[in-house]
Copies of this chain bind each other. A is one copy, B any other.
Amino acid sequence: MSSRDQLEVFPNPREDREFTIEHVHPEFTSMCPKTGQPDFGEVTLRYTPGAVCVELKSLKLYLNAYRNEGIYYEAVTNQILDDLVAVLQPRRMTVVTRWRPRGGLHSVITAEYAVAS
């Protein structure tokens, strides 16, 4: 279960201008629910803020909270997007997860959100 409550925000300093914020966390780790072994990956968050921006340290703690949680690639990518959209209500947001090889294959999952126009 995710820890959406850990995410803290601060007011967008230029809410009148559309601009883009990207945070890359190359130290993401969770557990494979099938094998019980750890997975390692890099999480990229890119968004156009609405009224608030995510505070960097709270984002790190939120992502670190997956450390001992069993969850699949596809599920964790969508979960991170859902949590951040709920808390930040951004204009647009993309989450990309890039995973280290398992059984010789490496994977990249990309999920996007945009306010309906």
A residues with CB within 8 A of B: 12-14, 17-27, 29, 37-38, 40, 53, 56-57, 59-60, 64, 67-68, 72-75, 77-78, 100-112
Contact = CB atoms under 8 A, between A and B. Distances in A.
Contacts of A110: 19-20, 22
A19 B105 contact: no
How many identical subunits does the complex contain? 10
5 contacts: A13-B72, A20-B109, A20-B111, A21-B107, A22-B109
Nearest to A75: B13
B103 A14 contact: no
B104 A26 contact: yes
A68 B103 CA distance: 18
